[in-house]
Amino acid sequence: MDAISPLDGRYAERLVPLRACFSERALVGARVEVELRYLRLLHSRGLFPLSPDEHARVDAALGGFSEADYAAVKDIEAVTRHDVKAVEIFLRDKLKLARSQAIHFGLTSEDVTNLAWGLLFRRYLHQLQLPQLDELILRLADLAERWRDVPFPSHTHGQPASPTTAGKELAVFAGRLLRLRQRLAGFRFMGKLAGATGNYSAMVAAFPEHDWVDLAQTLVAELGLDHNPLTTQVEDHDTFARWFDLTRGVNNVIIDLDRDLWAYISRDLYRQHKAPGQVGSSTMPHKVNPINFENSEGNLELSNALLALLSDKLCRSRMQRDLSDSTVQRNVGVAMGHAHLAWMECLRGLAKIELDPVSCARTLEAHPELLSEPIQTILKVEGVPDPYELLRKHTQGRDVTRASLMAMLDGLDISDAARQRIQDLTVAGYVGIAPALADRIIAAVRKEITP
């Protein structure tokens, strides 16, 4: 009721799964996990051996981070005014190790934090983002298959253009999203663990003979990340930025889809199912507004604005480190939350629409001038001088009928076969190989994504 952000207010129930990836509790829990995995690695390397009981306590702590644990960390932070130091003190109190100095040994806060964020971002990418994108692509492929053969009015520059099929146009969006999905599915975040200025200085000072680069590589790989071998205090976040940019790419395709479907609905080419009791207007009872596509578009624009800022900001750090990125990075969940909500709204919109083939056919039949393109192309093959100019003079700015187009052929020196081919043309039938093109994308989607 009193939430400042609609993500935590109006839309909170719809975004509950994102809390496991972007909430403060999730971040603290991920920091704890990084510290515990580092501690186990120090033990396995013989640097800070744990007793069997201590090892069991570490494993138990790795098994879950509770509400009580989170509250304890935040109570400590209220005193220390330092979030990562609070995690270190919490683990000392919880684990009660004989050599508590092993906790956070040789690390800087950014070592823990960059790996924690990488862990959370990877979790969101694979557990929530990709499955949601897969659902959207599959929905588009299903609709493209259903309407692959239905002639559909095209517009270029807002003007009637050579027809297509409804299925092929939806397949275009499925194909664009599939390419981005392939890049997201193979995406890898990077992480570092190299101390205060990226030189392993504290670790080497204490254990000069140990291979600390190998230890860092091992831990980073254990977290499902790629090791960044050369950094300042901060991991450069270049992979974070690439992920933001890929997400913006998906958002831009969906914005394009939202706007096209909005326009087609406004032209009565698609109709929308209405939920029982749904009101479209406070004063006009007949309306069924395309609110899902509108909500999707607006949230995508918000997401893109934040993702562009994050992509630019997080790759920059004054000299070896400054903290201006820290507060900005906490808003990644806001950017992804708006995207997640928008993708959900687009899916809801797609579930409501129904193609109106009669309206599509009526619209096409109202524009016989669209046959001027195939007619002038056939006339070129027949050697008619400048058929483009002939058709332009006959159609541009004129009221054109099918009869007037056919009458134009009188007196032209063309073969009987060409004349018959032109006479057989229909606007609705002039769709080229659109259905076959749609089939190729539909097949690619089915091969790539398992429902």
Q: How far apart are CA 35 and CA 122, in angstroms?
A: 18
pLDDT digits (tens, 9 = 90+) for 291-341: 999 999 999 999 999 999 999 988 888 787 777 788 888 999 999 999 999
Q: Which residues contact 424 (CB under 8 A, 6 or more apart)?
A: none
Tell whether the model's pLDDT for residue 442 goes beyond 90.
yes
Q: 366 with 400: CB under 8 angstroms?
A: no
Burial 257-293 (b: 16+ CB within 10 A, else e): bbebbbebbeeebbebeeeeeeeeeeeeeeebbbebb
What is the per-residue pLDDT across 337-359, written as a single tens digit (0 to 9) for each?
999 999 999 999 999 999 999 99
Does the fold of domain 368-423 match that of domain 116-357+433-451? no
Give the span between the Cα atoms of 428 and 349, in whole angstroms.
27
Superfamily grouping for domain 1-104: Fumarase/aspartase (N-terminal domain) (1.10.275.10)
**105 in Cβ contact with 64 (< 8 Å):** no
Report which secondary-structure segment, H or E, holds 272.
strand 270-272
User: What local confidence, expressed as pLDDT, does residue 135 receive?
Assistant: 98
Taking all residues of the chain, what is their mean pLDDT, rounded to a whole number? 93
Where does 116-357+433-451 sit in CATH, by number?
1.20.200.10
Contacts of residue 10, Cβ cutoff 8 Å, sequence gap at least 6: 3
Return the closest-CA partner of residue 233 out of 88, 106, 118, 111.
111
Which band of pLDDT confidence, cut at 50, 70 and 90, is reported for residue 146? very high
Catalytic residue among 157, 227, 340, 394: 157
Among the listed residues 167, 138, 128, the one whose alpha carbon sits nearest the alpha carbon of residue 151: 167
Active site residue 281: yes
Give residue 158's Cα distance to chain centre. 28
Percent of the chain at pLDDT > 70 equals 96
Looking at residue 398, its pLDDT comes to: 84
Contact status, residue 261 vs residue 314, Cβ threshold 8 Å: no
> Distance between terminal CA atoms of the chain?
37
Backbone φ, ψ for residue 152 (5° rounding)? -140, 135
Bridge partners, residue 38, by sequence? none
Predicted confidence at residue 280, as pLDDT, reads 55
pLDDT at 282: 45
| Ranges of each domain in the chain | 1-104, 116-357+433-451, 368-423
Structure tokens at 14: 């719809």
Identify the pLDDT of residue 278.
57
Give the pLDDT confidence of 392-404 residue by residue, as tens digits.
988 888 888 999 9
Of the options 1.10.10.10, 2.40.70.10, 3.40.50.9100, 1.10.40.30, the CATH number for the domain spanning 368-423: 1.10.40.30
Pick the catalytic residue from 51, 66, 281, 324. 281
